């Protein structure tokens, strides 16, 4: 039926096409945010790598999350900045590749946040066994397993999409390429891909439920702590992580778990910005400004730098 259908060669991202009068301002704002994300997350990763007081699994996970955020924004924001200044089409293969890495890094972040919830569960609910269970070796194996699964998880969906016939339109109402809008552009039976998308969304929700269950148990155990200082420290540590979890899984829910078939360009753009820009921005803010140990390590680094250059 689709033998004579010509495949779309280029994709148009709507981006900020209705806000062209503000493109200069938007470019400067998002460029500043991008530089802050790279600098902030890079600094956290560097501190975790170099500072002996941060050589613990909890901070290793924070450092891993920071590296993922740097890579994630490198996949989305530079292209978005380029489209702000000069509107141009993106090739279908480049669009598909961007969507693939978007999912790879999204899955990696999803499982990293789940591992961080497990780490906090062990630290608060099983404190006597924590050091024996959450070793550096387990951390390395967990992260490597997470990355292996992340790189392989979207491959099947990517192959299926690459074989679909596309006969127009070629417009995606978002600031970046993603699998669902690409699937909606196909002019063939997409039921199998919709099933794959549903399975992927279900797996994300399973992770979210696991994280919530972990924190329910953690909350119950925190309330049992007799020391007020101990309770505050535990709440502070878990509260920062829970903020990131709610933002991340909440934005995923708005992006992929939808009731209607299509949404407005403004809705897609708002959710896309939350997922691709504002969540990576919260990582250095939440973990850098709210985490006391990271703040101490940063001050120590600044003090050492001043002594060295004076």
> What string of pLDDT tens digits covers the 310 residues of the chain?
444 444 667 888 877 777 777 888 888 999 999 999 999 899 888 888 888 778 788 888 888 999 999 999 999 899 888 888 776 778 888 889 999 999 999 899 889 988 888 888 888 888 888 888 888 888 889 889 989 999 998 898 888 888 888 876 788 888 888 888 888 888 887 888 888 877 877 788 888 888 888 888 888 887 777 777 767 766 766 777 777 888 888 877 777 665 445 566 677 777 778 888 888 888 777 776 666 777 777 777 777 665 554 5
Token pair for 28? 């400067």
pLDDT of residue 263: 60
Q: What is the distance between the alpha carbons of residues 223 and 180, in angstroms, rounded to a whole number?
A: 42
CA pair distance 300, 18, nearest whole angstrom: 47
- Helix, strand or coil, per DSSP, at residue 186: strand
Residues paired with 11 in a beta bridge: 90
How many whole angstroms separate alpha carbon 205 and alpha carbon 211? 10
> What is d(CA 95, CA 154) in angstroms, rounded to the nearest whole number?
14
Q: Which residues, in sequence order, are bridge partners of residue 91?
A: 10
Q: What three-state secondary structure class fits 166?
A: strand
**Which domains does the chain show, CATH number per domain?**
10-309 (1.20.1070.10)
Query: Cα–Cα distance between 276 and 77 in angstroms, integer?
Result: 7
The residues, ordered by sequence, that sit 6+ positions from 153 with a Cβ below 8 Å of its Cβ are 103, 104, 107, 200
**Separation of alpha carbons 194 and 197, rounded Å:** 5
* Cβ contact 104:150 at 8 Å: yes
Cα torsion for 278, 107, 159, 1, to the nearest 10°? -60
């Amino acid at each position: 039926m689709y033998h004579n259908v010509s495949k779309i060669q280029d994709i148009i991202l709507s981006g900020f096409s209705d806000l062209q009068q503000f493109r200069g301002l938007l470019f400067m704002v998002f460029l500043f945010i991008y530089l802050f994300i790279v600098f902030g997350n890079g600094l956290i990763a560097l501190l975790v790598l170099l500072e002996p007081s941060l050589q613990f699994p909890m901070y290793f996970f924070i450092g891993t999350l920071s590296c993922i955020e740097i890579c994630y924004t490198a996949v989305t924001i530079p292209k978005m900045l380029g489209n702000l200044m000069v509107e141009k089409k993106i090739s279908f293969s480049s669009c598909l590749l961007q969507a693939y890495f978007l999912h790879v890094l999204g899955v990696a972040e999803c499982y990293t946040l789940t591992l961080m919830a497990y780490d906090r569960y062990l630290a608060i609910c099983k404190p006597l066994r924590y050091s024996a269970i959450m070793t550096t070796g387990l951390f390395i194996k967990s992260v490597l397993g997470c990355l292996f699964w992340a790189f392989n998880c979207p491959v099947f969906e990517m192959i299926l999409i690459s074989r679909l016939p596309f006969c127009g339109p070629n417009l995606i109402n978002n600031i970046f390429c993603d699998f669902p809008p690409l699937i909606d552009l196909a002019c063939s039976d997409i039921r199998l891909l919709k099933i794959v998308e549903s399975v992927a969304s279900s797996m994300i929700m399973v992770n979210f439920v696991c994280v919530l269950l972990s924190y329910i148990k953690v909350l119950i155990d925190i309330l049992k702590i007799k020391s007020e200082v101990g309770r505050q420290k535990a709440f502070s540590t878990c509260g920062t992580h829970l903020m990131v979890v709610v933002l991340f899984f909440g934005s995923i829910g708005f992006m992929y778990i939808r009731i209607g078939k299509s949404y407005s360009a403004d809705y897609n753009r708002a959710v896309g910005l939350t997922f691709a820009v504002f969540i990576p921005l919260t990582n250095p803010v939440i973990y850098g400004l709210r985490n006391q140990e990271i703040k101490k390590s940063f001050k120590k680094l600044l003090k050492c730098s001043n002594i060295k250059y004076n």
